Amino acid sequence: MPETTTPVSPKAFASEWPTWCPRCGDFGVLSALQKAAAQLGLSPDDVVVVSGIGCSGKINSYFRSYGLHTLHGRSVPVAQGVKLANPQLTVIAAGGDGDGYGIGAGHFMHAVRRNVDVTYLVMDNQVYGLTKGQTSPTSPQGFHSPTTPNGSADNPVHPLRVALANGCTWIGQGFSGDPNKLSALMVQAIQHRGFSLLNVFSPCVTYRATIEENGEKLDVYQWFKNHLYSLDESYNPHDRGTAFSLLLEHNDLVTGVIYEDTTTAPYDSFLPGYTTTPMAELAVPLEEDSFAKMAAQFQ
């Protein structure tokens, strides 16, 4: 983390104005991230946001820093590569629930066990927003959409439980309707040395505007406000069993730091000869005849 004496404003991380629908939860995620980066004393050229495809994937265009808009479901492996090539950067992978827990589910699981020092922000709106409202991996059973007109028969994926089972060293959950708490969670997720998963309930007000309960349609923000259980300081996030029970007890509708393992070393500490010098600055000795042999293959 760089040292700085000049206070940084969240505005330093503002770029073009987002084209998200008014009231989209992703606005809350963006402003919380800008605030968190400022609070950490980062500057835009310390940060790389690597995003996937989706409405949420646009975040790297709206957050002023280095950025890579990758393929659908591929933000996490690219982010790991960026971090290993230049460990001096703060690397954030970002995307939606379809991106991370559907097409990118394989990468997600392996990134969790690999524990590269990357923060993964998932804007979980329980629907495919960009492609117009199809059922996603976290849509609840019974969800009606163009792909499940009779209601989804599938049980949703439980990403936090998957992460916990596979050895994720930091797991948190936030809500874009509570941006102050969300920003504080982002600060902790970024400070963690290792892979951190921050799942954010970030409502899609166009394709999942209301949630039905007891025959009544509730505004999606109101529904989350009514159901989310907010952890306080009495909760100890260092016990995996307790974290699992907590998720089961509240059907995953919990916000706060759910699990934190500060003893497991990150991936880079297991790499022989690994150095924190960016790869681009390392001298790569290459004998002249080795180079000639290599070049000959391309002639």
When asked if residue 123 is in the footprint of ligand TPP (CB under 6 A), the reply is yes
DSSP 231-262: P-TT--TT-HHHHHHHHHHTTT-EEEEEEE--
Q: 128 touches which of ligand SF4, ligand TPP, none (CB within 5 to 8 A by kind)?
A: ligand TPP
Nearer to ligand SF4, 30 or 164 (CB): 30
> Angle 105-114/75-85 helices, nearest 10 degrees?
30
Q: Which two tokens stand for residue 85?
A: 């090539």
List the one residue from 46, 99, 117, 178 that touches ligand TPP (CB under 6 A): 99
CA gap 257, 245 in Å, rounded: 14
Residue 28 amino acid letter: G
The tokens 């902790």 sit on which residue?
Answer: 188
- Determine the distance from the C-alpha atom of residue 167 to the mean position of all C-alpha atoms in its chain, rounded to a whole number: 16
Binding of residue 247 to ligand SF4 (CB under 6 A): no
Q: Is 205 in the site for ligand TPP (CB under 6 A)?
A: no
What does 205 interact with, of ligand SF4, ligand TPP, none (CB < 5 to 8 A by kind)?
A: ligand SF4
Q: Which does 24 bind (CB under 5 to 8 A by kind): ligand SF4, ligand TPP, none?
A: ligand SF4
| Closest to 94 in 3D by CA, of 67, 120, 128, 66 | 120
Among 49, 55, 59, 91, binds ligand SF4 (CB under 6 A): 55
Cα separation of 224 and 28, whole Å? Answer: 14
Q: Is residue 24 near ligand SF4 by the rule CB under 6 A? A: yes
Strands 119-124 and 196-201: parallel
Task: Decide: is 49 part of the binding site for ligand TPP (CB under 6 A).
Answer: no
> Is residue 129 involved in binding ligand SF4 (CB under 6 A)?
yes
Number of chain positions touching ligand SF4 (CB under 6 A) = 11
Residues that bind ligand SF4 (CB under 6 A): 20-21, 24, 26, 55, 125, 129, 204-207
